[in-house]
Structure formats: C-alpha cells, structure tokens
Structure 1
C-alpha cells in the first residue's frame, strides 16, 4: 500500500517534487498548459506509451489530440531554466559522496524520414539488412548522475542533440563545462570537494577531451580500445652528440604483455557476479598524437597528454564463458593516488544509464513519436526527461504495486516502472498548475482545393570537424 494512503508522507520530498513541477510549468513559455498535461499523461498512462494520440485519451489530459500536436509544433521550453532546475535537485551519489556523471549517446532511429533534417548515421544495428551497424536518426547525448550499488535509477541532468556539422568531442567538452558551472551555482560542488568524475564509454576521444578540459576540476574515466599504443615519459637523449630531446619514451602496447612494465598498483577483489577481479594500473602514460584528424588545426606540436591506464580482468561474466579484459583510461596521471578498486566499480555504474535509456524508450516512449522536425523532437526529449525526474523524486512516496506474478521489492529497491504505477495517486495530491481548457468549437479545417508542394528531402549528414565550435547548440537553447 502506498505511503501516501497511510499518511506518512516525507514532506521534504513532496515539497521538492511540487517545486519541480511548478518550475517545469514556468519553463514552458508557450503552450504551457498542453505541454504540462502531456507530461502528466505520460506518467499516468497504464501501460507503455505507444502513440501520441493515445495519450490525449488520458484523464489528466483535458485537451484534444490537436492541442497536443500544436504544443509539440509551436510550444516553447526554456531549456536553460530547466537545466538549472535539474542541477538543483537532490542527486544520487556514491558511498563516498563523490559526484559521478555518466555521458552516453542514444539514437532516435529515423531511417525512413527523408523529409527530416539533421539526421546522422547513429551507431545501432540497422534493420535494413542486419549487417550494417548504423541507422539514420537523431543522436542525443545524455548526462546523468550515478548512484552507488546496483540500481536502475540515474539523475538525468542534460541532453544535447548532435548535428551533422558538430564536432562531437567539442560538443562534449562544452556540455561538461556548462554542466559543471550549473552544479557549482546549485551548490552541488564547492572548491575543495573531490573533482567531479565523468564516466564515458569507448566511443569518445577521451584523450582529446582530457586536453580540452585540462583547466576544469573534472576527471575522466572511460574505456579505450585494446589495440592502442601508449608511451612512457621520455628520458634524456643518449650519445655524445647534441640534438633534440625525445618526446616519447618506450612503447606500451596494450595487446603485447611483453611491453607491460611493473604496475604501479594491483588490486585483487572477490565479486559476487564476476568472481575474482584483478585490476592493475600504470601511471604517466600518453599516446603519440599526430598532426591529423582533430589535431590538424592545433597550434604547434601535438601536446603530451598523460593519464593512467587500468587493466581489468574478471573470472567470468554472466552469459560469457571467455570474458575479454577491459582497458580504462583515467585522466589523472598520478596512479599512486587512486583507489583502483573504486574506479572500476564506478565504471560499472555507467551501465545504469543503459537501464535508463531502455525505460525511456520502451515505457515512456522516448522514440515513439514520428516527428518531422528536430526542434519538435528536442521538445519531446525534454518532456520525457522531466517525466523521469518526477518519478525519481517520487520513489520514496509510493509503495510496491506489484503484479501477482512479480516479486515484492523493498521501498529502496523499487524500479521506475513500479513507481510509475503509483504516480497517479501522487498526482492527485499535488494537483496541477495547468489551467483548464477553454470551451471552443472545431476549426474549419483545410480550405477545399488547396494543395501543397512536396516536402523537401534531406540527405543523412556526417560529422565534420571544425576549428571553432564553441557552442554548437546555442540556437536550440529555447525549444
């Protein structure tokens, strides 16, 4: 039974949720009533969101489906204000209270939308022939705060759509800087606190990100390919003749154990799922950067970007008889000052964001609408992020409404899906800031005999690296 029915309501949590709903409504600067009721319809629907017209049939959505489409087409959301509100909420943290943020890209597949601009080749097995590993769509880069322990909850903080002309690494660096600034203003991070740890997967150029964010109080932890070659710090030039001092030391080939020196630290841990876990790390290693690709426009010689390498091996993986080792890169080159066991456990928490993506897509309908314009898709993405945030804030206000075939869960282990089942009760207590609809008559519709020209076709774009790309998403600030 819900704790709301029993009357034992954590007033502080309920007040935080109510304030967020009011702030969300105030951030909707046009078509606010229709947009807000659309979020409530997503939260109060009985099952997964399968289509937009079905949401207009919900009791909390007091307007017709035409108003819903009009809100997505012509509504406006002050994204900067919503981002500040998300950064000011109570965020999940680990046992050491350090703030860890995961960054990852999730695609919105639009393979048949030839009239939709801004599409890219997103990394996902294409349904066309089952061979290609990309599909045309809109990629969204999402940032979420990670908690401790095994959970499917994350604190969503930001989302940025990558465009065809965007430098993905420059966009990521700008997103991290802006997010760090909002966390500072919200009091989530102060001078003297442990540096914010950003956890990435293998699709990011983490070495270049380390260089771009070298002046920020952040640390990067990400997976790198196992065929890369690193180098030790350069020593003095040998021989009696004069000449230029070497820039790179001996090679450290990740795939060749003969080139591996004695590790700086070694951690052996017994894990309940992976068996014996061995983590070794080497500090002060750097790659040999060439003047090509993203480093072509770099002034002077390519820099020496040092970091710490972490080699992780496990005894077994669920469903995998022969697990392969994992190589991690940490932007702090001082390997002796790290807790290696804590770092690889934090990297495993990055997969909590995958559970969030799955819930957003399969239950809340993140990629269900077939919208034509990317600006409409941006509004829908932010509505879904706001809906998920309300579920996270309400998780301590509800009980376990389980199905007869489901196992009971303690209050601190409720999944987002089970919290959503009880959310209509929370919504009845909170009420809604949206105004009731005004009585109106149906419009005249399209005038007879009117025809329109075919919509323009847009090719699928590709990434182009640009020298100056400080804020590629500035025009999309107000959706």
Structure 2
C-alpha cells in the first residue's frame, strides 16, 4: 500500500469517526439504543424487515423492546443533525458547483388508522395514467448530486409535510435554511458558482426561483408539455397611446409554429440515448395571475424570466418511445456550454431515486409499523445518518461481491456493497455507546383485564371542496394549454 493511499484511508477513517461522534452527540434521549440501532441497520446481513429483527444483529446489544422504546420515546437534536450533515465533504459538479436535487417521497401508511397527520400521497399505478392516492407521510428530501453516472447521493435534509402545507413554500423555506447552513459550514464562499437546484415537474420552478431570488441559487426544473410562456414585451413605439404591455407573444410548448428560431442548438452523441438535440430559447416567462403568493408589496406581479430548453433523444434504454423533455432554467443568456451542462445535470436528478429505493428496500426506512409521526421523524434521521456513514466509508470498504457479480473498483462500489463490509469497518471507528444495564420487563396489563383507553383513530387529511364547487366533467382528451403561471 502506497503512502498516499494509506494517508487517504487514515483521513477517511478519521472523517467517519468524527461524524459518528457528532451523530451520537445529536441523540438527546435513549442515545445508546438509538446509536446501536443505526449500527444494526448498517451491519445487518440482508434488507431490514423490522425493528425486532435488528435486535438479533450482534452490534445491537439491546432487546427488541428497548429498540421500539428508543424510536417511540427517544430524542434527536434535528438542528444539530442538520449542521452535521452540512459539514461533511460533499460531491461537486465538474465545474466545482454544488448541485442539489429536491423531491418528495412517501412513507405509505394506508391501514394505520391510529396514526395522525396522514395525507393522501400520489402514487403510480400499473396502468397508463393510473394515479392512486394512498394515505401516508410525505417527506421532502434534499440531496447533493455527484457528477457522472452513479447510485450515490449525499442526503442533507428531510422534512415531513404536515396537513395543509404548501409544497412550494415549504420547499423554499427548506432550501433557504439548508443553503444558510452550507454557507456557514464553508461549503460555499463569495465568488463561487451559484448552487444549482434541480426539481421535477411537480414543482413550480418560476415560483421557487422567485422565493429564492436573494440567494446564490439557480433553479432548473422540468415543465409539463402543456405550458404556455410569454416572450419579453416589445419595445414601445413613439406616440403609442395606452398602457404599455407587460408580455410579448406566446410560446406554446405544444405548437411548434410559436417557437421561432432557437437561440442555441446543440447536438451530442450519447451512449444510452443516441443523438441528443437540445434547443434553448432565452428570456421566457409565465403570465402570472393575481394570487397572494405572487403579489409584491406594491401589488404588482413580477416578471420572472428564464431559459427554456427542449431535449430530444433518439431512443430510451428500455426501448420505449421517447418524449421531448421541457426544462426551465432561472438564468438567462445561456451559451451552448450552459445548455449541454443543464440538460445533463437534469438527468443526474434521477440518482435521487436510487437513494429512495435503498432507503426503503435495503435500509428498511418504511418497514417499521410506527404509530406517531414524531417517531417516524426520529427513524428517518437515523436512516439519513446511516446512509451518510456508508458514504464516508466508501474509501475503506472492500468488495465483498457475490459469485455472480462482476468485480468493481473501490470508487465504483454501490451503497449496498459498501454496507456488506461495514461490519469490518465499524470496530476501527468511534463507538461511544455504553453497554446496556440489566433490567427486567414491566408487568404489563394483568391477564383478563380489558384495555379501557383505546387508541384514538384519526382521519386522513383531505382538501375539502365547498358546496359551490362546479360539478365534475369528463376529462378532455385534448386539454387546453396552461396560459397562466
């Protein structure tokens, strides 16, 4: 082993030990049980199925009752945990900027009638355009993305959406607080490139850019194919009477005769998608309506200009017919290099789906049958801390591959492969949890006595419609374009 490689391993081990010590300090109640519970998640032989099975992992020295009690009545200093996640080394794009992806994933709880604050979550059915609402707890998660194809991300924050929350407002507040923590932690300095925030079509990109306009942030998001934007208002001719126009001509996504000549056109040959053609049009904005979320102090509606990018590819790896992708970027005057960088950065947004799948299928984020949303929040922070330890252990892990798996270099190990070797890495790091004290279980309810205090049941939060609402009409097969923001 070379000296530089040995120094790199020593530095990675020190970074991992530092984070484990800080993670333990964030646990304010039942800290030993919660810390060993996270170690059990990392050192298990297979996917996590339940909290009771984690008590059988050798790294967890508590019984199953103690683990459930730790999740139900433990304590996590979330503010300190958020600062700890913002202080670890983060991946950066090729140009050195931070790229953040934000998305909502749901912890589905359809049969948990005694769990409060459940919301109807949007899920996809097996058929085309079959969207099934299922009760659950939606979480808004922000991750830092790595450059290139990878299944790794760096989760930085998780926030459960409460009933009645506006997703755009909550996400803007979440991003604002996260960026403040990143600046405080030294992840961004004056003179650095703006942080790029990437979102999917479920977010209102112009509104998100408007709410974050005072921060060093650029917003890139996909737009629906039925949107209509406006060009800049034409120059006012001398002698023209009347109020000056605020909007120019329409740019209808579904009508190519309204597009005009693109400002930038790039053609790139890719391995997965064939020829990728990107065209961009500068200084397009949505026509806003009079809503309280848009109106400024003087009552006027802002003009939020940005760049629209249309991406066309030859084919998809699955063989399905590709559809054009429309993107909106909060910046203007995009160069050909900016256009290529933006659509390639958007494709990296799908790496967050790998993280969600690992949370649910391997680390068992949604496996425990937890009753209260507060306990769900504690378990969520434990999963984020466990994943961060996997990411910091990447330079230390050996490739314990299955006989049917291909060898992978250390820098290409997936999170699941790093988890296989974490049991051998853990003894070399800081383990601040103390040994459990002997105790006896409580007497419980006497035999034959009924439960006189049943758990209250809670309804699923739904948006109530007024009596004056219009009756439902059959959905049109040719919907009209959306001409307002």
Give the gaps of 5 or more residues in structure 1: 465-479
State the match for 1:472 in structure 2. Answer: none
SS of residue paired to 2:143: strand
User: 2 CA distance for matches of 1:161 and 1:214?
Assistant: 24
User: 1 CA distance for matches of 2:370 and 2:296?
Assistant: 37
Which portions of structure 1, spanning 4 or more consecutive aligned residues, are displaced by more than 3 angstroms?
Answer: 6-9, 236-241, 292-299
Say whether the 8 Å CA contact 1:56–1:65 is kept in structure 2: yes
Structure 1 residues 373 and 321, CA gap change in structure 2 (3 angstroms)? closer
Give the gaps of 5 or more residues in structure 2: 465-485
CA drift of 1:156 comes to 0.8
Structure 1 residues 198 and 241, CA gap change in structure 2 (3 angstroms)? closer
Say whether the 8 Å CA contact 2:278–2:311 is kept in structure 1: yes
How big is each residue's C-alpha offset from its partner over 1:19-74, in whole Å with a ceiling of 9 and x where there is no partner? 00000000000000000000000000000001110001111110111111111111
State the match for 1:165 in structure 2. Answer: 164
SS of residue paired to 1:124: strand
2:342 matched to 1:343?
Answer: yes
SS of residue paired to 1:244: coil
State the match for 2:53 in structure 1. Answer: 54
Alignment of 1:38-437 (within 5 A): 38-125=37-124, 131-237=130-236, 242-292=241-291, 294-295=293-294, 300-336=299-335, 339-437=338-436
Alignment of 1:452-467 (within 5 A): 452-462=452-462
SS of residue paired to 1:215: coil
Say whether the 8 Å CA contact 2:266–2:336 is kept in structure 1: no
Structure 1 residues 94 and 237, CA gap change in structure 2 (3 angstroms)? closer
The answer to which of 146-155 and 438-447 deviates more is 438-447
Structure 1 residues 97 and 343, CA gap change in structure 2 (3 angstroms)? same
Say whether the 8 Å CA contact 1:126–1:135 is kept in structure 2: no
SS of residue paired to 1:203: coil
SS of residue paired to 1:133: strand
Aligned length: 459
Structure 1 residues 295 and 9, CA gap change in structure 2 (3 angstroms)? closer
User: 2 CA distance for matches of 1:48 and 1:391?
Assistant: 15
Say whether the 8 Å CA contact 1:402–1:418 is kept in structure 2: yes
TM value normalised by structure 2: 0.91
How big is each residue's C-alpha offset from its partner over 1:227-275, in whole Å with a ceiling of 9 and x where there is no partner? 1001111124569552100011010111111001211111110101111
CA drift of 1:447 comes to 4.0
SS of residue paired to 1:339: helix
SS of residue paired to 1:453: coil
How big is each residue's C-alpha offset from its partner over 1:417-457, in whole Å with a ceiling of 9 and x where there is no partner? 11000000001222510010011222222245352333222
SS of residue paired to 2:425: helix
Structure 1 residues 312 and 298, CA gap change in structure 2 (3 angstroms)? farther
Say whether the 8 Å CA contact 1:195–1:218 is kept in structure 2: yes
Say whether the 8 Å CA contact 1:236–1:246 is kept in structure 2: no
CA drift of 1:165 comes to 1.9
